């Protein structure tokens, strides 16, 4: 009877040891996976920060070609403020004159972005937040617009592209101040 009990105790300890090894190894793998996911997330956010910087620079410099290059050829603009949607290409055609006027110095324009939610993976992103668009004709007061927006982006070989821009609603400077830079 004692040899059987020793055998069972040995089996129990061996089983617990195996369980412990598996749990420790699983925790190590999860920690490594978490670090890998965090690194991928940081890379995506950095790439998107560069993307939004390019958008801002294109608006400020009146560089229509650079701005257009940030948009997907099949992109869609949704305007919650004006209750319509249309191909982004059509909106770009409408906005082109402002870029020309900015480049020529007839107006000053700028856009800044702050984010309230940033979701995605290595090739897709949903960016939500507020943009502040400012335009000013010479001698006139600046016109400042704060707009709640969402942008659905896809990563292509030549960089991130806006697939859908949803300008949801006008908002306030106070909301802008609360949003993350």
Cα–Cα distance between 80 and 168 in angstroms, integer?
4
Show the domains of the chain with their CATH numbers.
2-178 (3.10.450.50)
Contact in structure between 132 and 179 (CB atoms under 8 Å)? no
Those residues whose C-beta lies under 8 Å from the C-beta of residue 71, and which sit 6 or more positions away, are 88, 89, 92, 161, 162
Cα–Cα distance between 30 and 135 in angstroms, integer?
49
Please list the rounded mean pLDDT of every run of 10 residues in the chain (181 residues): 66 62 55 72 96 98 98 96 95 97 97 97 97 95 97 97 97 92 68
């Amino acid at each position: 009877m004692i040899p059987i009990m020793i055998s069972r105790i040995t089996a129990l300890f061996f089983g617990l040891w195996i369980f412990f090894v598996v749990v420790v190894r699983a925790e190590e793998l999860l920690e490594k996976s978490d670090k890998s996911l965090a690194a991928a997330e940081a890379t995506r956010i950095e790439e998107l920060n560069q993307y939004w910087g390019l958008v801002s620079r294109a608006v400020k410099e009146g560089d229509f070609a650079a701005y257009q290059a940030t948009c997907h050829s099949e992109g869609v603009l949704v305007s919650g403020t004006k209750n319509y949607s249309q191909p982004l290409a059509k909106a770009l055609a409408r906005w082109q004159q402002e870029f020309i006027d900015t480049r020529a110095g007839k107006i000053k324009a700028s856009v800044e972005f702050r984010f309230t939610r940033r979701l995605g993976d290595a090739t897709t992103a949903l960016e939500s937040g507020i943009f502040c668009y400012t335009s000013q004709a010479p001698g006139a007061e600046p016109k400042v617009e704060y707009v709640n927006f969402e942008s659905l982006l896809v990563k292509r070989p030549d960089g991130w592209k806006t697939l859908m821009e949803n300008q949801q609603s006008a908002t306030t400077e106070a909301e802008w101040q609360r949003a993350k830079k």
